[in-house]
Amino acid sequence: MVEQIRAFVTGFPVKHSRSPLIHRHWLELAKINGSYEIIEVTPENFADFMENLSSGRSGFVGGNVTIPHKQQAFALAVKADEIAVELGAANTLWLEDGRLCATNTDGYGFAANLDQWAPRWDQADSAVILGAGGASRAIIQTVRDRGISRIHVVNRTVSRAAELAARFGRPVEAHPLEALGEVLSGAGLFINTSSLGMHGSAGGDVPAIDFSVMAPDAIVTDIVYTPLVTPLMTMAKQQGLKVVDGLGMLLHQAVPGFEKWFGIRPVVTDILRQRIVADLENRT
């Protein structure tokens, strides 16, 4: 009997993850004898989980890692690529010649989503990124790598933005929330990486933002996808800006992992998107 190829997503908690829906859709479509399993692992047990994975005993060929294990996953992998090394965090693991390898595909997913819906996004002279958490890091890296020469990171806790500016050096500058209006002026791209507007978080107090001061043809995007159309996106749309939602980032970040584990590069289609949208509508 041919053995099933098994991959996983781990986190704590991880039940809310939509990744199984995405990978199972591609497995079905390509008629691959594979599985994508949800494995909840506590922080205390994560090192053991990685040890089992590394040794091949777990039976998995690799998987995705989400909050709060991304830094540990990077630290415990044998080999990490440049992207993961700079971020100090991994979301995708795979075994290669018996060695546990790691990368981070969040930035790839972010860029691929904008490439699809707003192809000239990387022509912006300057970008404004709201938030300074883990997601912000991966996005700063990608925005820099795509050649945007001024990146303003705005955060409620300005010291966290300053840490990122120090880490990435030029072209990243840190600002407090009060500076948002000023840095938005003339900017070509605004990205919300903060949890502002997310279901179940501090969604009620999203401040009014004047996006009209941005460059003509500026793009506003939110990596929050619950709700799919966030309060910030609604605001920007009403002010006549082009907006891109964050669901595509989730879909595209899954592509490199699937290819590593199952050997076929999958395609992000509208049918897949609709499946996830339907699930979001049912579950949130």
Q: Which residues are known to be catalytic?
A: 70
Q: Identify which of residues 61 and 84 has a Cβ nearer to ligand ATR in the complex.
A: 84
- Give least dist CB 195 to ligand ATR, A: 4
- Give least dist CB 4 to ligand ATR, A: 32
- Give least dist CB 249 to ligand ATR, A: 12
Q: Identify which of residues 101 and 132 has a Cβ nearer to ligand ATR in the complex.
A: 132
Rounded-to-10 torsion of CA 88, 92, 96, 98: 80
Query: Nearest residue to ligand ATR, using CB?
Result: 133
Question: What is the 3-state secondary structure of 178-246?
Answer: HHHHHHHCCCCEEEECCCCCCCCCCHHHCCCCCHHHCCCCCEEEECCCCCCCCHHHHHHHHCCCEEECC
- Give least dist CB 192 to ligand ATR, A: 9
Question: Which residue, 152, 153, 165, is CA-closest to 126?
Answer: 152
Round to whole Å and give the CA distance between 41 and 261: 21
How big is the chain, counted in residues? 284
Q: Identify which of residues 274 and 284 has a Cβ nearer to ligand ATR in the complex.
A: 284
Q: Identify which of residues 53 and 220 has a Cβ nearer to ligand ATR in the complex.
A: 220
Q: Identify which of residues 136 and 226 has a Cβ nearer to ligand ATR in the complex.
A: 136
The terminus-to-terminus CA distance of the chain in angstroms comes to 41
Sequential DSSP letters for 93-123: EEEETTEEEEE--HHHHHHHHHHHH-TTGGG
Residue 17 burial (CB count, 10 A) = 17
Round to whole Å and give the CA distance between 46 and 145: 31
217: tokens are 């043809």
Binding site residues, ligand ATR, CB under 6 A:
131-136, 155-157, 160, 193-196, 202
Burial class of residue 89, CB neighbours in 10 A (0-12, 13-18, 19+) = buried
90: tokens are 């991994």
- Give least dist CB 106 to ligand ATR, A: 10
Q: Identify which of residues 83 and 100 has a Cβ nearer to ligand ATR in the complex.
A: 83
